[in-house]
Amino acid sequence: MLVLRCRGTQVKHVLGCHSTWASRWIGVNLRMLSSHPVAAVCQVTATPDKEANFTSCKQLVKRAKEGGASMVFLPEGFDYIGSSREETLGLSEDLTGYTISRYTRLAKKLGVWLSLGGFHERGHDWERDRRIYNSHVIINENGDIVTVYRKSHLFDVELPARGVSLKESAFTIPGPNLIPPVQTPIGKVGLGICYDLRFPELSLALVRQGAEILTYPSAFTVATGAAHWEVLLRARAIETQCYVLAAAQVGSHHEKRSSYGHALAVDPWGVVMGDCGGEYPSMSLVEVDMEKLRDTRRNMPVQQHRRDTSFYYSLGGRE
């Protein structure tokens, strides 16, 4: 399902893998109707097959460009999702390795910005400890790596009744710090990854640094996604008055793991602009209207009403 939003009207098209003519037609019409930049929020089903994953992502990026997108968002684990700790570590690479090099060339060839939402990056002490970072890589239209954010909050969760058992910290190093928002063709983008979504302190810190768009590329489990995914994304949009763009994994990656899907785009009022559904790889093309963001913040100046940070840690203090 490809979801477009053209001047307040949502238009839906079902596109197969070979519907290039359709995406070009849609892209031309979207560009003619829209004076705002367009973002593509993608949904994929990654497996341990890195070559197949790149082929699928490349198709989506090309379709997004044909549809008028100036920035394309891919989810956590876009490079692969391993079936074991050993496989996950064995398939990992450096930022200078083959996978990221292919994406820098793709970005330059198409003239499009890329948000690569969760790359398995070998740690700086890889030879000694064999651990990785979960890294969000931003590449500009010239094929340059603009910034890298390494996931701060690691998903160590046991939910026996819901069939969820994951311990990301067993092989992943938590990122040392947040990264300032990045100026892109669609606006100023603040970076998170998946489980970071559950920590509003992160989004509020990014807004204080000027973020206009928050992005949470993810691979939510089916159980947690059904319960919390849309609620959390809309909450982050409402409380920060930002656009929220969340690329997602969907479907079965291997016999041990599946993802919820429903890659979403949410506007600063909390309205869902695009939803990729819970079944297939797909994408949503959405306009990013900064006038809507400014109107939302002007009419309800939440950030101006916010007290000093120390105030929120003063419970139990004297009146």
Q: Are 119 and 99 in contact (CB under 8 A)?
A: yes
Average pLDDT value for the chain: 88
* Averaged pLDDT, 50-76: 97
Distance CA 256, CA 17 (A): 26
Output the DSSP codes for 155-187.
-EEEEGGGTEEEEGGGTBPPPSS----EEETTE
Dmax (CA) for the chain in angstroms is 67
What's the rounded Cα separation, in Å, for the pair 74 and 284?
A: 11
Residue 128 has pLDDT above 70, yes or no: yes
Catalytic machinery residues? 76, 151, 194
Decide if 53 contacts 308 (C-beta within 8 A): no
- Give pLDDT, residue 170: 82
Q: Would the pLDDT of 207 be above 80?
A: yes
Q: Which residue has the higher pLDDT, 85 or 1?
A: 85
In the 8-state DSSP scheme, what is residue 93?
A: B
168 or 319: which carries more pLDDT confidence?
168
Using pLDDT thresholds of 50, 70 and 90, give the confidence band for residue 127. confident
Share of the chain above pLDDT 70, in %: 87
Domain range list for the chain = 2-304
In CATH, what number does 2-304 get? 3.60.110.10
The candidate with the shortest Cα–Cα distance to 158, out of 150, 173, 175, 170, is 170
Residue 201's pLDDT is 95
